Every structure is written in C-alpha cells, then in structure tokens.
C-alpha cells in the first residue's frame, strides 16, 4: 500500500482507539476531579465491562444485536454498582485520603483481576458484533487520464467501527450535558470545587462520592463494551486502558473534562497512527516519558495545588 491510503487507515484506527479512550479517560478524570482520588483499579473496571459484556451477550443468545444491546445496558450498570459499593465499603472508610486510597485501589486491582482469572478463566473470548459490513474506501491517483479513483486492497473499515466512533460521541455529549446542565452535575461540580462548603450546604458528600466512583467506572465499562467486538475480553486487558487513561488525564489537565476529551483524541489518534508506522512499544515509551516530564515540569498546572 502507498503512504496515502496507509495514513487514512491509520487515522481510522486511531479514531476508534480515541473514541474508546475518551470514555475511559473521562471516567478517570471525573473521579479525580470530584473526589481527588487516583483510581488505579480503573483499568480493571474496564476489563470487567468487557467480561460482563461477554457474559450477557452469551447467556442471552438470539441475534447478535439483542445480546449486544443488552450488554451495552447491563454491563456498565453492573460495573457501576460494584464500584460504588467498593467506594462505600472501602474508600469511604479511608476518608478518601490520597495515598491510602491509591494503595487500596491497587489492592482492588489485584482482587478484581484475580477473581476474574479464577472464574472467567485465562482465555480470551470474543463478542459477535451486532453488524459488521466491510466498507471499502476509495483512493485517488493522477494518471495520464487525470484524476482517477480506485479501491486499494486493504483500505477499508467496518460499519461497526464507525458505530463505535458515533456511540462514543453520543456518550461524551451525554456526560457533558449531565455535568453542565443537570442538577446532579451542579452537585458534582460544587463538591469538586469545595468539599467543606458542599457539606455545609447539605450535599451528602459521601453518597456523591460513591455515585461518582460508580459513574466513572461505568464509563470505562461502556468503553469496554464498545471495544469488545473488535478486541476480545481477557482478564489482563485492563493494563493498557489504565496507562493510556493516566496519560490522557495528566496531559489534559486533571479534572478538566474538555482537556480530557481533547487529550484523548490526541493520544488515541497519535497512538493509533504511530503504532501503524512504528513499533507500538516505542510509542508507549515516548508517551510514558512525555507524561513524566509534563508532571515534573508543570506539576502545579496539571494537578492543581494539592500536595498530599
């Protein structure tokens, strides 16, 4: 394939990655923004979303669409409830102290991952996409006869991948509407701004925290349900989304939803594009070092003024 078509393909792949990453990172960003909690188990909630999606889609049977739609609703809900319960039972008792919470979520990471290994098993399982038409993409070249279009071999995407992008946009807009326009969003923003004052105004902060933690995890699970027809569900699949979400949230500025979305698109796209042309390992090395350097040289700007 020539460079041009190759680039188009890379951009398309990047878009799909960016879409899923946006949802996952939004969840992490929301939790950090409102609760000042770094949730290391976030990637495991992503993984749980994928595994539950497999479970739901499989147990329902029938047309793939039915199973997929059921998974789309049930899996994030289930993950959200689980996460909220974990917050209520564990993190609430640590007073959401930043250091202790990090350690506890590391523990939660292992518990979730290992219980999945013990029940779901070490194998990866696919979920059948609800629809999956191949869409060939035309390319052009200049010949003696002028501009000509043709369909290069290998340059294609699927209807499902386009659906993932569209679904992520809809979900992202939903989160924005919720935060900016709803009463719940107002309560979340008030809690984020000043926990003490929110408490004084009668906002049940602990319950808001549990809700936020659950909602953040549900967003990750939603991203996972979308991705699982493309990438199989596996108990170790939470690592990459966690790392990438960290990168996105730090580059985008913690707690800033707009920054998170922009950074997710940037990182998702560049990760997709770089992985097509270069080694994915090299791309990850550069990304991790970039994050470290951003934190080192602009810590206040990105993490706010909150020493632990």
Partner 1 sequence: MSRALTFHIGAIIVLAVLQFILPVYHSGNLARIMVLAVYAMGYNVMFGYTGLLSLGHAMFFAVGMYGAGLSIRLFDMAAAPAFGIGIIASILFSLGVGLLALRTIGVAFMIVTLMFSQAIYLLILYFNPLTRGDEGFVIPQAVRQVAGFDLSDPTTRYFAALLLFAIALLGMVWLVRSRTGRVLVAIRENEERARMLGYDSWAHKLFAVVLSGTMAGAAGAAYGLLFGSVGASFAEVPFSILPLLYVLLGGPGTVIGPFVGTLFMFYLRDISSSFTDAHLLVAGIVLVLLTMYARRGIMGVVRERWAKWLP
User: What is the contact surface with partner 1 in residues (CB under 8 A)?
Assistant: 38, 90, 93-94, 98-100, 102-104, 106-115, 117-118, 239, 243, 246, 250, 279, 281-282, 284-285, 288-289, 291-292, 295-297, 299, 302-303, 306-308
Give CA separation, 247 vs 25, 29, 78, 220, 236, in Å. Answer: 9, 11, 26, 15, 19
C-beta closer to partner 1: residue 173 or 293? 293
Name the H helices within the chain: 3-35, 42-60, 64-89, 98-119, 159-181, 183-193, 195-200, 205-227, 239-252, 257-277, 280-297, 299-303
Q: Which residues contact 60 (CB under 8 A, 6 or more apart)?
A: 66, 67, 70
C-beta closer to partner 1: residue 152 or 214? 214
- Packing angle, helices 280-297 and 239-252, rounded to 10: 40
The DSSP bridge partners found for residue 156 are 136
C-beta closer to partner 1: residue 127 or 242? 242
C-beta closer to partner 1: residue 109 or 171? 109
C-beta closer to partner 1: residue 102 or 162? 102
Q: How far is the CB of 239 from partner 1 (least distance, A)?
A: 8
Q: How far is the CB of 8 from partner 1 (least distance, A)?
A: 28
User: DSSP for 257-272?
Assistant: HHHHHHHHHHHHHHHH
Parallel, antiparallel or unpaired: strands 156-158 and 134-136: antiparallel
C-beta closer to partner 1: residue 4 or 121? 121
Q: How far is the CB of 276 from partner 1 (least distance, A)?
A: 17
What is the spatial distance between Cα 1 and Cα 35, in angstroms, rounded to a whole number? Answer: 48
Q: How far is the CB of 174 from partner 1 (least distance, A)?
A: 28
C-beta closer to partner 1: residue 97 or 137? 97
Residue in this structure with the two tokens 């669409």, named with its chain if needed = 65
What is the spatial distance between Cα 155 and Cα 4, in angstroms, rounded to a whole number? Answer: 10
The half-sphere exposure of 193 on its side-chain side, counting CA atoms within 13 A, is 10
Q: How far is the CB of 242 from partner 1 (least distance, A)?
A: 9
Q: How far is the CB of 51 from partner 1 (least distance, A)?
A: 15
C-beta closer to partner 1: residue 172 or 252? 252
Q: How far is the CB of 251 from partner 1 (least distance, A)?
A: 12
Q: How far is the CB of 141 from partner 1 (least distance, A)?
A: 36
Beta carbons of 49 and 222 less than 8 angstroms apart: yes
């Amino acid at each position: 394939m020539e460079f041009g078509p190759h680039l188009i393909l890379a951009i398309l792949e990047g878009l799909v990655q960016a879409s899923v990453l946006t949802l996952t990172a939004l969840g992490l960003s929301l939790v950090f923004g409102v609760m000042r909690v770094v949730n290391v188990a976030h990637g495991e909630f992503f993984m749980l979303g994928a595994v539950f999606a497999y479970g739901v889609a499989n147990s329902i049977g029938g047309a793939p669409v039915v199973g997929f739609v059921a998974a789309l609703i049930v899996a994030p809900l289930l993950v959200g409830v689980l996460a909220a319960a974990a917050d209520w039972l564990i993190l609430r008792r640590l007073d959401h102290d930043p250091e202790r919470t990090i350690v506890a979520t590391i523990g939660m990471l292992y518990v979730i991952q290992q219980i999945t290994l013990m029940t779901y098993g070490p194998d990866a399982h696919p979920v059948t996409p609800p629809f999956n038409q191949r869409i060939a993409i035309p390319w052009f070249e200049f010949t003696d006869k002028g501009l000509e279009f043709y369909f290069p071999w290998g340059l294609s995407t699927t209807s499902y991948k386009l659906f993932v992008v569209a679904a992520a946009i809809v979900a992202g807009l939903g989160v924005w509407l919720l935060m900016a326009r709803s009463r719940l969003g107002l309560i979340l923003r008030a809690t984020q701004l000043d926990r003490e004052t929110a408490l004084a105004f009668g906002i049940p902060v602990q319950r808001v925290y549990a809700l936020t933690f659950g909602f953040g995890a549900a967003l990750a699970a939603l991203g996972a349900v979308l991705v699982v027809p493309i990438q199989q569900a596996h108990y170790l699949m939470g690592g990459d989304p966690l790392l990438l979400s960290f990168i996105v949230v730090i580059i985008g500025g913690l707690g800033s939803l707009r920054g998170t979305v922009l950074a997710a698109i940037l990182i998702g796209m560049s990760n997709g594009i770089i992985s097509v042309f270069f080694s994915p390992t090299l791309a990850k090395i550069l990304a991790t070092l970039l994050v470290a350097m951003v934190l080192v040289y602009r810590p206040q700007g990105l993490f706010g003024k909150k020493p632990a």
